[in-house]
Structure 1
Amino acid sequence: MEKLQVTRRYDLDWLKVTATLLVFLYHCSMFFNPFDWHVKNNEVDSSVILAFSLLIGTWIMPIFFVISGISSYFSLQKRRMGTYMNERLLRLGIPLVFGVLILSPPQVYIERLENNQFTGSFLEFLPLAYKGLYLEIGGTGNLAFVGLHLWYLLALILFSLVTMHLFNKTKSVKKVSPLHLILMHIALITVAAFVETVHLGGWDLLVYLVLFLAGYYIFSSDQLLSLLKKTFPVHLILGLTTTISYALWFMLDFPERGSMAFILFTSLAVIGSLNIILFFYYMADRYLSFSNKLLRYTSEAALPFFILHQPVIVITGFWIKDWSWPMSLKFIFLTVVSFLIIAFIYHFVIRTLPILRIIFGLRGKKRQASLPPPAKQEVSI
């Protein structure tokens, strides 16, 4: 099959960078909201911060899988399947292994201290760090084999393996119609409401697979953007109203799984998430189809930032959790200090050392700032 050159979609790079920043803020909010997490503030919030977590959490990981599906489509227009899979395994697998072996143990250690499951120093914990599988917060196993927040990388590797033959033999949808969007809603609602495998980041793993496939087959089509030009106000209104309704319902009374209320509740979450993604996808294409120095820098930094952000937040949170500061001031402190630590490590350490660039999913050689970006290439993961 002939491989074509593909003009880079800068709008997707902007979406990736923005989504990475929002994931960072979401995990900062996890330190303060009432959900189970590795470390919690000495005071939690069940109002404003919880609402923020719900409004962002419903669609933030789904948009990553949509972007990854689009990325796979563009990558396969230029690469053979073997090259595509090798790059996926290396650029995702190496950071995942590093996360499992190096970045996860400090977080699990802090969680064990937080839950009174261990007393002692980190050095005393290390002999136990890889004993038993870590399956849930508060469990007994310590080996976080999915890398905690890096489950996203493992899911992408699995999805790429599962879909490689399908993608090699099929093509994306050329003419997207409203019927395709309706069917996409139905498929996601069905899987979210009735399928239960592994729950990660607020959704079942198979929901992410459907979103990955939607990114490849539907979002990659130029015809979708033509359709959204006419319908984007509908997606904005539908996305906001259903997401807000879902968040309010969640805060008042979480329905029992399997009930009719749960199906409606899940439908609100799916409709809200998907329509917010559709709206942002169109707006990014309309207003963010350009590149500059900021995008070139942050687009490359996005994956290392994602890999580092949760360990830094957990460690910083553990340091400040018992401070008597107001929660709002703590939130600002946690956000600013964690961001600066991650930015410093990336700028002065990771991006300058070839071995660390590879470990964090980048190409080994640092990109020369003086050179213009390639005019034609596929969107990155």
Structure 2
Amino acid sequence: MYDEEQLLSNPLKRKKYQGFWYILLLLTLLLYATCFVAFVPVSLPSFGRWLWFSRGIDFSFMVVGDWGREGHHHQKKVANAMAVVARQTNPRFIISTGDNFYDYGVSSARDKQWNSSFESIYDSWLKNIPWYAVLGNHDHLGNLTAQVVYSNRSERWNMPRPFFSLPVTSRFGEEYLFVFLDTTPFIKDSYGEAARRNGRQNWRLQLSWLEKLLNSSTSRRIFIVGHHNLYSSSIAGERGREELRILLKPILDKYSSRIVAYISGHEHSLQHLQPYGMDGMDHFISGGGSKTDPLKDPPKESRQYWYDCCKVLPFGLSEKDKPRALFRASKHGFFVFKLYRSELIAEVYSQKAKLLYSYNKKILP
């Protein structure tokens, strides 16, 4: 009997021959793909992005602020939750938005708080993740130079100077720029006076440095990190800082097309704000590292007053083109930012490692 007749009369053999042709087709496609990569003038990273990783994550990072209380006020619980989430998200680094040590900073690079508020608290899966930190107002009541010097003693603590920048190249070749500011010298209160007098911090010099940095950078994905927030969704607490809206905001506005977000702490809560509406720069407040503060809405009849005077953004507003607050919680927790080729995902986690909020935003390729 001829092979053709056998195939028609024996279904098992027909399936066997069909499997052979499927394997042959797969090998042909694999050979074609190999030749394409070898001979077509396209780099492997860009080929990978185009073919395999169109939705692949570039990298992720965590943000926590207002934390240094020797494990008290839920600090250790937040740290444990960060370790749990770190196992899942594999952050490239952790950003601290300041007030690293309460209530009066540290006295030296050998201060016991380095262990009791930092090294022994953020352990487990956080041990080998580098930190990049800014100074908070409470840090300026201590020896701010000690937090810079500790960078030479620690394998994970990074603060080369009170304000600095960090260029990051992702695994797909995208260029990011992280800018870390020391906002306390801008503030007209006793903390600001201490920063300008004891720390000899010159806010004019810092603004000049920032302007030159942003002007010379070619990155289209910039994150600005500072301790103080410019805006708030609550009339409790300090309601954002007018000094920063006067001095810092003009520079942020000038380069807003390339700045993805301004990230801060100071207010002991978790917030996501859109002062310019949906199409503008996002502001994130991550100040839930330990002790939390209440959130309070302005009375209905005085909402416009609070917005005019202090830029308190209305919470729950549905108009996407108006200043608004999208999320807020007076909870202990932290942020995780995930960066993709053309998308940012911001997530908020509680001290129980529970996802509280998630936000997606398209960003420039």
What is the TM-score when the length of structure 1 is the normalising length?
Answer: 0.26
Larger radius of gyration: 2
What is the TM-score when the length of structure 2 is the normalising length?
Answer: 0.27
Q: 1 or 2, which has the higher helix percentage?
A: 1
Q: 1 or 2, which has the higher strand percentage?
A: 2
